[in-house]
Amino acid sequence: MKTVSIIIPIFNGEHFIHRCFSNICKQTYEHSAIECIFVNDGSMDNSASLINELISSNTSNILFRLISHSHNQGVSAARNTGIKEAKNEYLYFMDVDDTITENCIELLFHATIKYSEATVITGNLLNKKEDTCHHTKLKTIIRKGIQNNLHDVLLFIYTSYSWNKLITRDFVIKNNLFFPIGIPYFEDLQWNIDVARYANEIVYIPEITYYYEYVTTSAMSVSKERQDTLAKCYMSLIKKILTINNKECSIEKHIFIHFYITKLLDMRNINSIKRKDIYTLRKELFIQAIKYGNFFLIAYDLQLYQPFRTIAKTKIIMNHSAELRNWVCCIAK
């Protein structure tokens, strides 16, 4: 029987511990084939003591483990610790404030039998805030090869989160697919880009396996410090993509970089990134489109300049939806 290690990073998550623990215990898959690793990332609340209490009173055959960092190191470090400590064949990441369906692990493992060449199996996602599925019309989709995998990630066609994916641990270790340290936002997108570069086959199934609880803090959303941090993360993503040399994905790379340059241009009073560096990237991207001799990319990149940016903000031209980016990619190719 195939086995899985569920990795759950925690930082001050005491309000979600009981629900999360109970959620794992309700899995319909054979409990003896499941281990659940809670990584307490320097929590300052009662998260660790609550987990210890639940583990001591656990009556299921699931192996629950608690590993603690002496201080907060970030979600990437917590997931990396979970990867290193995991003992089972597959890995599955989830967040403590989210939930999974009772048959989540069973459904994903069933897909590994049917699609034996798959490196990654991804289930469907329900956003509980919007009460909508991420992949509303999704049927089972099999994506093979680096070009197809990168196409999906760079155009945001499928989820670029780390959770809700069943992935073989040997694949992660062999390709050194650990999460980037020091990047507080979009670390999972960077991880997914690397996964796409190495994965043989990725399978998406239509069944809902994950319930995403959208949580935001309005004060954080407008803080200048957060804006500066976001800007750094956007630049980090752009630099990441510039290291990809796959010629077949050059259009996807171009559209991806365009997307994040737009975000940087929309920011005001950021100190972490020089405006001239953003303008240089914008110019290089536009010159690249001209060198391609690609009319559609040239027209698309005009959104990065005035007065087209003003028009774009009225939504006449610009739309950040995955559908539009995919359409532009298809036309440009």
How far apart (Å, rounded) are the C-alpha atoms in residues 231 and 248? 28
Residue predicted with more confidence, 245 or 30: 30
- In this structure, are 224 and 206 located in the same domain? no
Range of the domain at 61: 4-212
Cβ-based neighbours of 88, under 8 Å, separated by 6 or more: 3, 4, 5, 33, 34, 35, 169
pLDDT, position 135: 54
Query: Is the same domain home to 131 and 224?
Result: no
Is 194 in the same domain as 223?
Answer: no
- Of 77, 55, 79, 80, the closest CA to residue 66 belongs to 55
Q: Which of 212, 227, 260 is the last residue of a domain?
A: 212
Identify whether residues 206 and 223 lie together within a single domain. no
Q: What whole-number distance in Å separates Cα of residue 38 and Cα of residue 216?
A: 23
Same domain for 298 and 188, yes or no, is no
Angle CA 226–227–229, to nearest 5:
60
CB neighbour list of residue 267: distance below 8 Å, 6 or more residues apart = 227, 230, 231
Same domain, 197 and 300: no
Cα 323 to Cα 300: distance, rounded to the nearest angstrom: 15
Burial group, residue 174, by CB count within 10 angstroms (0-12, 13-18, 19+): exposed
Are residues 33 and 91 located together in one domain of the fold? yes
Q: Looking at the predicted structure, is the pLDDT value of residue 133 above 60?
A: no
For residues 199 and 57, membership in a common domain is answered with yes
Domain termination site, one of 192, 212, 232: 212
Residues 287 and 321 in one domain: yes
- Note the pLDDT tens digit of each residue in 189-244: 999 999 999 998 999 999 999 998 766 544 345 577 888 899 999 999 999 999 88
Does residue 131 sit in the same domain as residue 202? Answer: yes
* Entry pTM: 0.90
Count of structural domains within the chain: 2
- Per the CB < 8 A criterion, the answer to whether 160 and 153 are in contact is yes
How far apart CA 136 and CA 168 sit, in angstroms, is 26
Q: CA nearest 86: which of 177, 153, 17?
A: 177
Q: What is the pLDDT of residue 315?
A: 54
Pick from 272, 261, 109: which is nearest to 184 by CA? 272
What does the DSSP 8-state code read for residue 180?
A: P
Q: Evaluate the CA torsion angle 64, 70, 71, 74 in order and state its sign.
A: negative
Same domain, 259 and 305: yes
Are 26 and 155 in a shared domain? yes
Q: How far apart are CA 152 and CA 201, in angstroms?
A: 12
Runs of H (alpha helix) within the chain = 17-25, 47-56, 75-85, 104-114, 146-154, 169-174, 187-198, 218-222, 224-242, 250-266, 275-292, 295-301, 308-312, 322-332
Domain boundary among 180, 212, 244: 212
- Predicted confidence (pLDDT) per residue in 57-98, tens digit: 999 999 999 999 999 999 999 999 999 999 999 999 999 999
